[in-house]
Amino acid sequence: MTTTTETTGTEATLRLLAWLSPAFPTGGFAWSHGIEWAVDHGDIKDGPTLQSWLETLLRHGSARTDAILLRLAHRAANDPPALAALTELAIATAASHERHAESIGQGNAFIRAATSWSPAVLTALQQQAGDIPHPVAVGALAGSKSVAEDLACAAYLQTLASNLISAAVRLVPLGQSAGLAVLAALEPTIAETAALTRSATEHDLGSAAFRSDLAAMHHETQYTRLFRS
Protein backbone atom coordinates (compact mmCIF):
# COMPACT_ATOMS: atom_id res chain seq x y z
CA MET A 1 0.00 0.00 0.00
CA THR A 2 1.36 3.42 -1.01
CA THR A 3 1.80 5.93 1.79
CA THR A 4 1.22 9.66 1.46
CA THR A 5 2.33 12.76 3.30
CA GLU A 6 -0.52 13.95 5.49
CA THR A 7 -1.58 17.56 5.82
CA THR A 8 -2.99 18.86 9.09
CA GLY A 9 -2.78 22.61 8.49
CA THR A 10 -4.98 25.24 6.93
CA GLU A 11 -5.42 23.54 3.55
CA ALA A 12 -6.61 20.29 5.11
CA THR A 13 -8.96 22.13 7.45
CA LEU A 14 -10.47 24.14 4.61
CA ARG A 15 -11.09 20.97 2.59
CA LEU A 16 -12.82 19.22 5.47
CA LEU A 17 -14.90 22.30 6.24
CA ALA A 18 -16.08 22.27 2.63
CA TRP A 19 -16.63 18.51 2.25
CA LEU A 20 -18.46 18.10 5.57
CA SER A 21 -20.35 21.38 5.58
CA PRO A 22 -24.18 21.30 5.73
CA ALA A 23 -24.00 23.25 2.46
CA PHE A 24 -22.16 20.39 0.70
CA PRO A 25 -24.97 18.73 -1.29
CA THR A 26 -24.94 15.18 0.06
CA GLY A 27 -28.58 15.31 1.19
CA GLY A 28 -27.78 14.56 4.82
CA PHE A 29 -30.75 16.65 5.98
CA ALA A 30 -33.15 14.06 4.49
CA TRP A 31 -32.04 11.17 6.71
CA SER A 32 -32.62 10.66 10.45
CA HIS A 33 -30.79 7.33 10.88
CA GLY A 34 -33.76 5.84 12.71
CA ILE A 35 -34.14 8.80 15.07
CA GLU A 36 -37.60 9.57 13.67
CA TRP A 37 -38.85 6.17 14.87
CA ALA A 38 -37.03 6.57 18.19
CA VAL A 39 -38.76 9.89 18.79
CA ASP A 40 -42.13 8.48 17.77
CA HIS A 41 -41.74 5.63 20.28
CA GLY A 42 -40.45 7.73 23.16
CA ASP A 43 -36.82 6.59 23.18
CA ILE A 44 -35.73 10.16 22.44
CA LYS A 45 -37.81 12.87 24.10
CA ASP A 46 -35.34 15.50 25.30
CA GLY A 47 -31.69 16.52 25.34
CA PRO A 48 -30.43 13.86 27.78
CA THR A 49 -32.13 10.97 25.96
CA LEU A 50 -30.80 12.23 22.63
CA GLN A 51 -27.31 12.49 24.08
CA SER A 52 -27.50 8.94 25.42
CA TRP A 53 -28.71 7.62 22.05
CA LEU A 54 -25.89 9.32 20.15
CA GLU A 55 -23.24 8.25 22.67
CA THR A 56 -24.28 4.64 22.09
CA LEU A 57 -24.04 5.13 18.32
CA LEU A 58 -20.58 6.63 18.66
CA ARG A 59 -19.18 4.06 21.07
CA HIS A 60 -20.88 0.88 19.93
CA GLY A 61 -22.92 1.46 16.79
CA SER A 62 -22.94 2.58 13.19
CA ALA A 63 -20.94 5.75 13.88
CA ARG A 64 -18.05 3.67 15.19
CA THR A 65 -18.33 1.39 12.15
CA ASP A 66 -18.25 4.42 9.85
CA ALA A 67 -15.14 5.74 11.60
CA ILE A 68 -13.34 2.44 11.01
CA LEU A 69 -14.44 2.33 7.36
CA LEU A 70 -13.26 5.91 6.83
CA ARG A 71 -9.85 5.12 8.31
CA LEU A 72 -9.45 1.98 6.19
CA ALA A 73 -10.50 3.88 3.06
CA HIS A 74 -8.01 6.63 3.87
CA ARG A 75 -5.19 4.06 4.04
CA ALA A 76 -6.33 2.35 0.84
CA ALA A 77 -6.76 5.55 -1.17
CA ASN A 78 -3.77 4.69 -3.38
CA ASP A 79 -4.51 0.96 -3.52
CA PRO A 80 -7.46 0.47 -5.94
CA PRO A 81 -7.96 -3.30 -5.35
CA ALA A 82 -8.00 -2.82 -1.57
CA LEU A 83 -10.37 0.13 -1.86
CA ALA A 84 -12.76 -1.84 -4.09
CA ALA A 85 -12.77 -4.75 -1.62
CA LEU A 86 -13.41 -2.35 1.25
CA THR A 87 -16.35 -0.87 -0.64
CA GLU A 88 -17.98 -4.28 -0.87
CA LEU A 89 -17.37 -4.88 2.82
CA ALA A 90 -18.78 -1.47 3.74
CA ILE A 91 -21.97 -2.11 1.78
CA ALA A 92 -22.37 -5.40 3.64
CA THR A 93 -22.27 -3.67 7.04
CA ALA A 94 -25.62 -1.91 6.49
CA ALA A 95 -28.08 -3.30 9.02
CA SER A 96 -31.20 -2.51 7.01
CA HIS A 97 -32.47 -1.38 3.63
CA GLU A 98 -32.75 2.24 4.75
CA ARG A 99 -29.27 2.28 6.31
CA HIS A 100 -27.93 0.99 3.00
CA ALA A 101 -29.83 3.66 1.05
CA GLU A 102 -28.69 6.38 3.45
CA SER A 103 -24.99 5.57 3.17
CA ILE A 104 -25.03 4.91 -0.57
CA GLY A 105 -27.18 7.95 -1.33
CA GLN A 106 -24.88 10.30 0.57
CA GLY A 107 -21.75 8.63 -0.76
CA ASN A 108 -22.76 8.93 -4.39
CA ALA A 109 -23.90 12.52 -3.84
CA PHE A 110 -20.58 13.29 -2.14
CA ILE A 111 -18.68 12.02 -5.18
CA ARG A 112 -20.75 14.16 -7.56
CA ALA A 113 -20.26 17.24 -5.39
CA ALA A 114 -16.51 16.68 -5.01
CA THR A 115 -15.68 17.05 -8.70
CA SER A 116 -14.04 20.45 -8.11
CA TRP A 117 -11.29 18.66 -6.18
CA SER A 118 -10.56 16.33 -9.11
CA PRO A 119 -11.18 13.13 -7.13
CA ALA A 120 -9.62 10.67 -9.56
CA VAL A 121 -9.63 7.95 -6.91
CA LEU A 122 -13.39 8.28 -6.41
CA THR A 123 -14.16 8.40 -10.12
CA ALA A 124 -12.16 5.23 -10.75
CA LEU A 125 -13.71 3.50 -7.74
CA GLN A 126 -17.25 4.35 -8.78
CA GLN A 127 -16.62 3.10 -12.30
CA GLN A 128 -15.42 -0.19 -10.85
CA ALA A 129 -17.73 -0.69 -7.89
CA GLY A 130 -20.79 1.42 -8.66
CA ASP A 131 -22.33 2.65 -5.42
CA ILE A 132 -19.94 3.97 -2.76
CA PRO A 133 -20.86 4.29 0.94
CA HIS A 134 -20.38 7.74 2.43
CA PRO A 135 -17.54 6.99 4.91
CA VAL A 136 -15.57 5.21 2.19
CA ALA A 137 -15.98 8.15 -0.18
CA VAL A 138 -14.88 10.69 2.45
CA GLY A 139 -11.96 8.57 3.64
CA ALA A 140 -10.70 7.83 0.14
CA LEU A 141 -10.85 11.48 -0.93
CA ALA A 142 -9.15 12.64 2.26
CA GLY A 143 -6.41 10.06 1.78
CA SER A 144 -5.87 10.95 -1.86
CA LYS A 145 -5.63 14.65 -1.00
CA SER A 146 -3.25 14.04 1.95
CA VAL A 147 -5.69 15.23 4.61
CA ALA A 148 -4.62 13.70 7.92
CA GLU A 149 -6.52 10.55 8.84
CA ASP A 150 -7.14 11.51 12.47
CA LEU A 151 -8.43 14.92 11.47
CA ALA A 152 -10.76 13.47 8.83
CA CYS A 153 -12.12 10.85 11.22
CA ALA A 154 -12.90 13.32 14.01
CA ALA A 155 -14.47 15.78 11.58
CA TYR A 156 -16.64 13.07 10.05
CA LEU A 157 -17.95 11.97 13.44
CA GLN A 158 -18.64 15.57 14.43
CA THR A 159 -20.64 16.10 11.25
CA LEU A 160 -22.57 12.86 11.70
CA ALA A 161 -23.53 13.87 15.23
CA SER A 162 -24.49 17.37 14.08
CA ASN A 163 -26.76 16.02 11.34
CA LEU A 164 -28.58 13.69 13.71
CA ILE A 165 -28.97 16.42 16.32
CA SER A 166 -30.45 18.64 13.62
CA ALA A 167 -32.99 15.92 12.83
CA ALA A 168 -33.88 15.54 16.51
CA VAL A 169 -34.27 19.29 16.95
CA ARG A 170 -37.00 19.17 14.31
CA LEU A 171 -38.60 15.93 15.45
CA VAL A 172 -38.81 16.11 19.26
CA PRO A 173 -38.86 19.14 18.92
CA LEU A 174 -35.86 20.54 20.76
CA GLY A 175 -34.71 24.12 20.84
CA GLN A 176 -31.51 25.06 19.04
CA SER A 177 -29.83 25.75 22.38
CA ALA A 178 -30.67 22.26 23.65
CA GLY A 179 -29.30 20.75 20.46
CA LEU A 180 -26.06 22.69 20.76
CA ALA A 181 -25.75 21.63 24.40
CA VAL A 182 -25.92 17.98 23.28
CA LEU A 183 -23.29 18.59 20.60
CA ALA A 184 -20.97 20.22 23.13
CA ALA A 185 -21.48 17.35 25.57
CA LEU A 186 -20.60 14.81 22.86
CA GLU A 187 -17.14 16.26 22.19
CA PRO A 188 -15.32 13.86 24.57
CA THR A 189 -17.16 10.86 23.11
CA ILE A 190 -16.35 11.92 19.56
CA ALA A 191 -12.68 12.35 20.46
CA GLU A 192 -12.67 9.01 22.28
CA THR A 193 -14.22 7.13 19.35
CA ALA A 194 -11.82 8.73 16.90
CA ALA A 195 -8.87 7.70 19.08
CA LEU A 196 -10.07 4.15 19.77
CA THR A 197 -10.64 3.41 16.07
CA ARG A 198 -7.10 4.43 15.14
CA SER A 199 -5.79 0.87 15.48
CA ALA A 200 -8.97 -0.85 14.27
CA THR A 201 -9.06 -3.25 11.32
CA GLU A 202 -11.85 -4.78 9.27
CA HIS A 203 -12.11 -7.46 11.97
CA ASP A 204 -13.34 -4.79 14.41
CA LEU A 205 -16.35 -3.85 12.29
CA GLY A 206 -19.73 -4.48 13.88
CA SER A 207 -22.51 -2.80 15.83
CA ALA A 208 -23.92 -3.51 19.28
CA ALA A 209 -26.38 -0.61 19.19
CA PHE A 210 -29.30 -2.95 18.63
CA ARG A 211 -32.07 -0.46 19.43
CA SER A 212 -30.75 1.90 16.79
CA ASP A 213 -30.57 -0.88 14.21
CA LEU A 214 -34.13 -1.93 15.08
CA ALA A 215 -35.26 1.70 14.77
CA ALA A 216 -33.83 1.80 11.26
CA MET A 217 -35.72 -1.37 10.34
CA HIS A 218 -39.02 -0.23 11.86
CA HIS A 219 -38.80 3.17 10.19
CA GLU A 220 -39.40 1.54 6.81
CA THR A 221 -43.01 0.78 7.83
CA GLN A 222 -43.65 3.79 10.04
CA TYR A 223 -47.05 5.31 9.28
CA THR A 224 -45.96 8.94 8.98
CA ARG A 225 -42.42 9.92 8.00
CA LEU A 226 -40.65 13.22 7.49
CA PHE A 227 -37.26 11.62 6.83
CA ARG A 228 -36.07 8.93 4.46
CA SER A 229 -34.56 6.82 7.26
User: 31-219 has which CATH code?
Assistant: 1.10.4190.10
pLDDT digits (tens, 9 = 90+) for 17-46: 999 999 999 999 999 999 999 999 999 999
Above 80 in pLDDT, residue 6?
no
The CA-based dihedral angle spanning residues 76, 77, 81, 86, taken in that order and rounded to the nearest 10 degrees: 60
> For the chain, what are the domain ranges?
31-219
Relative orientation angle of helices 176-185 and 149-171, to the nearest 10 degrees: 150
Within 13 Å and on the Cβ side, how many CA atoms surround 199?
Answer: 2
For residue 3, the model assigns a pLDDT of 45
pLDDT digits (tens, 9 = 90+) for 185-208: 999 999 999 999 999 999 999 999
End-to-end CA distance of the chain: 36
Relative orientation angle of helices 47-60 and 62-75, to the nearest 10 degrees: 40
pLDDT digits (tens, 9 = 90+) for 116-137: 998 899 888 888 888 999 999 9
The CA-based dihedral angle spanning residues 217, 213, 133, 220, taken in that order and rounded to the nearest 10 degrees: 10
